[in-house]
């Protein structure tokens, strides 16, 4: 029996003794046995429920166990820093504007009086005491900044002399500086200063610098990705077949003798074609713009091939406003003309079909021709990314550009048999 139950047992013995004394000795006449038992049992239940014994557990909820104060103090800033890191402005790169927004965000969290971010040449942002002479846009003034940038390691400064600020009235006494790096390349520094003799927590500053460095690395990857997409787009522009230009000009010259008005219209179409191809900005455009570009190209080719080239459009009006990569559909159509129909004596038909699927949120584009088709070997080379043969616009560059833009969220399939024509299916996320 537990120590908490012994007092309860003694109380119950006393209760039953009193019940017996009152009902059997004092009462005249004595109460019946049943009445005595009912009174005793009732009092027993009341005392048992009202007593904090082991029979019913404690009468109050034990407060939750608390961690020591120092653990709470260290975990709270870490959670706050982690939350702030999700929206860190340096995700856009190490610029003065991004640095200024970052130090404002970090200043209350880093347990320092002043916070600065520098690149290798100048102070990008500074907030707190000392801002009057640690001027944004000028070279870092402290020796500590130079040591962090040159050494690429975290530095703890515990005296004003080692801080190395040449300004005689500088209020800053101690500091922790940590490098900002992209890979192994130091591109800047995070510096946290205090005006007393206790430097800021090294681990906290170091951890934040790592978060900032990660954001800078992601920004660098974004920049390289953008450059890669730009390069592929420029390559597509350069791949516009010069023979197409010469053949179109020859067609226009021929029409100028027989039908000057048609020649003038063809010149306008050719001007529209090259203006769009060369001056189109950005990597995406509405399908309606690309559709106009394709129709312009096919109109010029029809002027050359005449009745040998027939065109069919099957475009859902809903797709006209969908965003698609620029200069992607026309090369597919050009391949259909050059490699599907140009070598077919009777000519043939090129069909452009486009749909939007709101359920899967995709845009589907199909280019079909009923031309000469391709052998299994040629189709295998195309599937492997080697492009079209005989001077055509290759699919490899298109595929690489789509992969850069969409990752694995696109499909580019080519199906063909000799004498049966070719089908190219493109499926991209709905923009």
Per-residue DSSP letters for 249-299? HHHHHHHHHH-HHHHHHHHHHHHHHHHHHHH--SSEEEHHHHHHHHHHHHH
Say what the pLDDT of residue 50 is: 61
Which letter does DSSP use for residue 363 in this model? E
Could you tell me if 306 and 347 lie in one domain?
A: yes
Which residue carries 């455009």 as its tokens? 285
Say what the pLDDT of residue 60 is: 42
Could you tell me if 195 and 117 lie in one domain?
A: yes
Q: Which domain holds residue 17?
A: 5-50
Note whether 334 and 294 are within 8 A (CB): no
Our count of domains for the chain comes to 3
Q: Looking at the whole model, is its pTM more than 0.75?
A: no
Could you tell me if 246 and 214 lie in one domain?
A: no
Q: What is the spatial distance between Cα 85 and Cα 87, in angstroms, rounded to a whole number?
A: 5
Could you tell me if 410 and 328 lie in one domain?
A: yes
Say what the pLDDT of residue 21 is: 73
Could you tell me if 291 and 421 lie in one domain?
A: yes
Note whether 397 and 239 are within 8 A (CB): yes
Query: Residue 304 falls within a domain, yes or no?
Result: yes
Closest of 238, 239, 277, 269 to residue 252, by C-alpha: 269
Tokens encoding 167:
């300004």
Q: What is the spatial distance between Cα 339 and Cα 373, in angstroms, rounded to a whole number?
A: 8
Could you tell me if 41 and 158 lie in one domain?
A: no
Query: Residue 37 falls within a domain, yes or no?
Result: yes
The total of other beta-carbon atoms located within 10 Å of residue 372's CB is: 20
* Model confidence pLDDT, tens digit, residues 110-134: 889 999 999 999 999 999 999 999 9
Closest of 315, 308, 310 to residue 289, by C-alpha: 315
* Model confidence pLDDT, tens digit, residues 294-309: 999 999 999 999 999 9
Task: For the chain, give percent helix, strand, coil, nearest 5.
Answer: 50, 20, 30
Note whether 421 and 373 are within 8 A (CB): yes
Say what the pLDDT of residue 381 is: 67
Per-residue DSSP letters for 115-141? EEEEESSSEEEEESTTTTTS-TTSPP-
Tens of pLDDT along the chain (431 residues) come to: 545 556 667 777 777 777 777 777 776 677 676 676 777 767 776 666 665 544 444 444 344 444 444 444 444 554 454 444 455 566 667 888 889 988 998 888 888 999 999 999 999 999 999 999 999 999 998 888 899 999 999 999 999 889 989 888 899 999 999 999 988 889 999 999 999 999 999 999 998 888 888 888 877 766 666 655 555 555 555 555 566 777 888 888 888 888 889 889 988 888 888 888 777 677 788 999 999 999 999 999 999 999 999 999 999 999 999 999 988 899 899 889 988 887 888 889 999 999 999 999 999 999 999 988 887 777 776 655 454 444 344 677 788 788 888 888 999 998 988 888 899 999 999 86
Could you tell me if 10 and 132 lie in one domain?
A: no
User: Nearest 5°: phi and psi at 167?
Assistant: -80, 120
Say what the pLDDT of residue 4 is: 52
The strand pairing partners of 160, in sequence order, are none
Could you tell me if 296 and 406 lie in one domain?
A: yes
| Helix, strand or coil, per DSSP, at residue 339 | helix
**Angle subtended by helix axes 287-305 and 242-258, to nearest 10:** 60
Q: What is the spatial distance between Cα 23 and Cα 35, in angstroms, rounded to a whole number?
A: 9
Task: State the Cα torsion 92-95-100-102 to the nearest 10°.
Answer: 40
Domain limit, last residue, from 206, 230, 254: 230
Mean pLDDT of all residues in the chain? 79
């Amino acid at each position: 029996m537990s120590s908490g139950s012994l007092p309860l047992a003694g109380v119950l013995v006393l209760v039953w003794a009193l019940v017996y004394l009152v009902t059997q000795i004092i009462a005249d006449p004595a109460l019946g046995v049943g009445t005595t038992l009912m009174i005793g049992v009732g009092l027993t239940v009341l005392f048992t429920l009202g007593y904090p014994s082991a029979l019913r557990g404690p009468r109050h909820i034990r407060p939750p166990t608390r961690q020591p104060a120092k653990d709470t103090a260290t975990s709270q800033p870490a959670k706050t820093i982690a939350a702030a890191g999700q929206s860190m402005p340096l995700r856009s790169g190490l610029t003065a504007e991004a640095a200024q927004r970052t130090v404002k965000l970090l200043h209350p969290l880093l347990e320092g009086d002043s916070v600065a971010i520098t690149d290798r040449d100048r102070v990008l942002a500074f907030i707190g005491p000392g801002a009057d002479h640690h001027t944004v846009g000028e070279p870092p003034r402290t020796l500590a900044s130079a040591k962090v940038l040159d050494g690429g390691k975290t530095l703890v400064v515990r005296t004003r002399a080692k801080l190395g600020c040449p300004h005689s009235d500088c209020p800053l006494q101690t500091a922790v500086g940590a490098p900002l790096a992209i890979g192994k390349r130091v591109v800047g520094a995070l510096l946290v200063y205090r005006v007393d003799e206790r430097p800021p927590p090294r681990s906290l500053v170091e951890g934040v610098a790592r978060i900032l460095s990660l954001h800078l690395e992601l920004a660098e990857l974004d920049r390289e990705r953008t450059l890669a997409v730009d390069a592929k787009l420029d390559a597509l522009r350069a791949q516009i077949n010069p023979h197409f230009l010469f053949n179109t000009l020859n067609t226009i010259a021929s029409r100028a003798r027989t039908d000057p008005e048609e020649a003038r219209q063809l010149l306008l179409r050719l001007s529209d074609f090259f203006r769009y191809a060369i001056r189109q900005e950005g990597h995406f455009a509405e399908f309606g713009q690309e559709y106009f570009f394709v129709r312009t190209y096919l109109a010029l080719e029809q002027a050359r091939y005449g009745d040998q080239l027939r065109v069919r459009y099957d475009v859902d009006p809903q797709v006209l406003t969908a965003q698609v990569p620029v200069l992607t559909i026309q090369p597919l159509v050009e391949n259909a003309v050059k490699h599907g129909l140009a070598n077919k004596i009777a000519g043939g038909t090129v069909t452009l079909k486009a749909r939007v699927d709101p359920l899967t949120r995709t845009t589907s584009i199909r280019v079909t021709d009923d031309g000469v088709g391709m052998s299994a070997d040629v189709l295998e080379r195309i599937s492997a990314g080697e492009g079209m043969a005989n001077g055509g616009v290759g699919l490899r560059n298109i595929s690489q550009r789509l992969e850069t833009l969409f990752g694995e969220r696109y499909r580019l399939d080519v199906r063909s048999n000799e004498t049966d024509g070719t089908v190219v299916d493109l499926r991209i996320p709905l923009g």
